[in-house]
Amino acid sequence: MSTRGWGDYALLDSGNGRKLERYGPYTVVRPEPQCLWSPRLPVSAWKGADAVFEPSDEDEAGRWRFKGRTKESWPLSWGGVKFHGRFTNFRHLAFFPEQAANWEWLEAQVRAASGRSKAEPPRVLNLFGYTGVASLVMAAAGAAMTHVDASKKAVAWARENAELAGLADKPIRWITEDARKYVQREVRRGSKYDGIILDPPKYGRGPGGEVWRLFEDLPELARLCGELLSENASFLVLNAYAERISGAALSGLLADVLQARAGRIEWGELALVEDAGDRQVGMSFFARWTP
């Protein structure tokens, strides 16, 4: 899947291990080791960026260097859903623009499910939901959302995004909890969901000190998510950013977890497309099941 720029975002250029992007009024430079090629725009375009992220080590952490005055947060939008952009200490800006291709697909799935069931809105679970843009897109499309993230700050930001988007009155449950513990409890309760998004980090910690390791813990969590799907479920989506993972691996996991269900599994890579041309930067891998 490829994500092209929209009104509030563009991948302007890439190369030499970096990306030059536009987020609303600001242009930013961020590291991207996969950009092995040479930039196309002149050096002046890169030097004129409002903010440059300087990593402190091989991890995601680091600091921003600002050229002029910038706001701590500012409004952005996609498809009519508003949310805040923020300069975080982990090189991203409080959302992942490449996921716009996923948002479009999820929005279509929810609208179709809403059209099939007039009685009640489809119940969708968003695990590792972060600042909630995907949750808000689906809520706006008619889903009853359950948004789960282990970070209290991330959930607070998600609530602020809901207020900005005018969606605070939508049926969204905001839950700060370890995703694995939440899903285990939901399975014991016999809860069911019509759609599930599973977008875990390669490593993380829950609010109670729980440790998450992608390769060790994803198979069990995916299996439990399979148990949570309702009889008439519309989708189960896996997304991962780890370098050692692949779309084929995620597809194989879904096939194993959902072997008792008929359906189709699509898999591949999620990429950003440069504004001027068709050069793409691969960002993550995905697999998704539909009945």
Kindly give the confidence (pLDDT) of every residue in the chain, 291 residues in length, as a single tens digit, with 9 standing for 90 and above. Answer: 999 999 999 999 999 999 999 999 999 999 999 999 999 999 999 999 999 999 886 666 789 999 988 999 999 999 999 999 999 988 999 999 999 999 999 999 999 998 876 678 999 999 999 999 999 999 999 999 999 999 999 999 999 999 999 999 999 999 999 999 999 999 999 999 999 999 998 888 888 888 888 999 999 999 999 999 999 999 999 999 988 899 999 999 999 999 999 999 999 999 999 998 889 999 999 999 999
Asked if 122 and 194 count as a contact pair (C-beta separation under 8 A), the reply is yes
Question: Which amino acid, one-letter code, is at 37?
Answer: W
| H or E element that contains 19 | strand 18-23
> pTM for the full model?
0.94
Question: Which amino acid, one-letter code, is at 240?
Answer: A
CATH (residue range 97-290): 3.40.50.150
Domain edges within the chain: 2-86, 97-290
Question: What does the alpha-carbon distance between residue 208 and residue 181 come to, in Å, rounded to a whole number?
Answer: 10
Asked if 20 and 45 count as a contact pair (C-beta separation under 8 A), the reply is yes
Question: Which amino acid, one-letter code, is at 59?
Answer: D
Given the structure tokens 């563009």, which residue do they identify?
A: 10
Q: Where are the alpha helices (DSSP H) in 88-176?
A: 100-116, 133-141, 152-165
Q: How many CA atoms lie within 13 A of 5 on its CB side?
A: 18
CATH (residue range 2-86): 2.60.40.1180
Nearest alpha carbon to residue 283 among 32, 115, 110: 32
